[in-house]
Chains A and B, each alone.
Chain A
Amino acid sequence: MSAERGAIVASLIRLTGDWDLAEDCVQDAVEKALQRWPHEGVPRSPGGWLTTVARNRALDVLRRRQNERAILQQLALLQDEEQPSVSDDRLRLIFTCCHPAIALENRVALTLKTVAGLSTAEIARGLLVAESTLSQRLLRTKAKIANAGIPYRVPPPELLAERTGGVLNVLYLIFNEGYGQPDDYLATEAERLARLLVELMPDEDEALSLLALITLQMARRATRFDAAGDLVPIEEQDRRRWDTTLIDAGQRYLRRAAASRRPPGPYRLQAQIAACHATASDVATTPWPAIVTLYDALLTAHPSPVVALNRAVAVGFRDGYAAGLAELDRLSGPALAGYYLLPAARADFLRRSGRSDEARAAYDEAARLAPDGSAEQRLLERRLASLP
Chain B
Amino acid sequence: MKYMMFVIADPAAAAEAEPNENDWTIEQWLADVDGRGKRITGDQLRPTSDATTVRVSRGEVVVSDGPFTESKEWICGFDILECDDLDEAIAIAARHPQANGGKLELRPFWTGES
Q: Do the beta carbons of B87 and A159 come within 8 Å of each other?
A: yes
CA distance A147 to B84 in the complex (A): 13
B1 within 8 A of A: yes
Q: Do the beta carbons of B108 and A150 come within 8 Å of each other?
A: no
Distance from A21 Cβ to chain B, minimum over Cβ atoms (Å)? 15
A3 within 8 A of B: no
CA distance A211 to B112 in the complex (A): 40
CA distance A17 to B85 in the complex (A): 14
Q: Which of B1, B86, B114 contacts A101 (CB 8 A)?
A: B86
Q: Note all chain A residues with C-beta closer than 8 A to B86.
A: 99, 101, 148-151
Contact with A along B86-114 (1 / 0, CB 8 A): 11011000000000000000101000101
A165 within 8 A of B: no
Q: Do the beta carbons of A149 and B83 come within 8 Å of each other?
A: yes
A126 within 8 A of B: no
Chain B interface, number of residues (Cβ within 8 angstroms):
13
Distance from A221 Cβ to chain B, minimum over Cβ atoms (Å)? 38
Q: Do the beta carbons of B85 and A149 come within 8 Å of each other?
A: yes
CA distance A150 to B85 in the complex (A): 6
A166 within 8 A of B: no
A155 within 8 A of B: yes
Contact with B along A181-213 (1 / 0, CB 8 A): 000000000000000000000000000000000
Q: Note all chain A residues with C-beta closer than 8 A to B114.
A: 17, 146, 149
Measured CB to CB, the nearest residue on chain B to A69 is B114
Contact with A along B36-67 (1 / 0, CB 8 A): 00000000000000000000000000000000
CA distance A150 to B88 in the complex (A): 10
CA distance A149 to B85 in the complex (A): 5
Which of A148, A149, A150, A155: most chain B Cβ within 10 A? A149
Q: Do the beta carbons of A101 and B83 come within 8 Å of each other?
A: no
CA distance A60 to B112 in the complex (A): 27
CA distance A101 to B3 in the complex (A): 14
Q: Do the beta carbons of B90 and A149 come within 8 Å of each other?
A: no
Q: Note all chain A residues with C-beta closer than 8 A to B3.
A: 149
Distance from A123 Cβ to chain B, minimum over Cβ atoms (Å)? 25
Q: Do the beta carbons of B112 and A101 come within 8 Å of each other?
A: no
Q: Note all chain A residues with C-beta closer than 8 A to B89.
A: 149
Q: Do the beta carbons of B108 and A151 come within 8 Å of each other?
A: no
Interface residues of B in 1-53 (CB under 8 A from A): 1, 3
Interface residues of A in 151-174 (CB under 8 A from B): 151, 155, 159
Q: Note all chain B residues with C-beta closer than 8 A to A150.
A: 85-87
CA distance A147 to B86 in the complex (A): 10
Q: Do the beta carbons of B108 and A147 come within 8 Å of each other?
A: yes
Q: Note all chain B residues with C-beta closer than 8 A to A146.
A: 114
Q: Do the beta carbons of B85 and A151 come within 8 Å of each other?
A: yes
Which of A99, A148, A155: most chain B Cβ within 10 A? A148
Interface residues of A in 319-341 (CB under 8 A from B): none
Q: Note all chain B residues with C-beta closer than 8 A to A159.
A: 87
Q: Note all chain B residues with C-beta closer than 8 A to A151.
A: 84-87
Distance from A264 Cβ to chain B, minimum over Cβ atoms (Å)? 27
CA distance A63 to B68 in the complex (A): 47
Q: Note all chain A residues with C-beta closer than 8 A to B90.
A: 101
Which of B87, B106, B114: most chain A Cβ within 10 A? B87
CA distance A147 to B3 in the complex (A): 11
Measured CB to CB, the nearest residue on chain A to B3 is A149
Q: Do the beta carbons of B108 and A148 come within 8 Å of each other?
A: yes
Measured CB to CB, the nearest residue on chain A to B87 is A151
Distance from B108 Cβ to chain A, minimum over Cβ atoms (Å)? 5
Contact with B along A360-374 (1 / 0, CB 8 A): 000000000000000
Which of B83, B85, B86, B108: most chain A Cβ within 10 A? B86
Q: Note all chain A residues with C-beta closer than 8 A to B108.
A: 147-149
Q: Note all chain A residues with C-beta closer than 8 A to B112.
A: 147, 149
Q: Note all chain B residues with C-beta closer than 8 A to A148.
A: 86, 106, 108
A-B contacts, 21 listed (Cβ < 8 Å): A17-B114, A99-B86, A101-B86, A101-B90, A146-B114, A147-B108, A148-B106, A149-B83, A149-B86, A149-B89, A149-B108, A149-B112, A149-B114, A150-B85, A150-B86, A150-B87, A151-B84, A151-B86, A151-B87, A155-B87, A159-B87
- A residues with a Cβ closer than 8 A to B are 17, 99, 101, 146-151, 155, 159
Closest 4 CB pairs of A and B: A151-B85, A149-B1, A149-B86, A149-B85
Q: A148-B108, A151-B87, A155-B87 are in contact. List 19 more A-B contacts (CB 8 A).
A: A17-B114, A99-B86, A101-B86, A101-B90, A146-B114, A147-B112, A148-B106, A149-B1, A149-B3, A149-B84, A149-B85, A149-B89, A149-B112, A149-B114, A150-B85, A151-B84, A151-B85, A151-B86, A159-B87
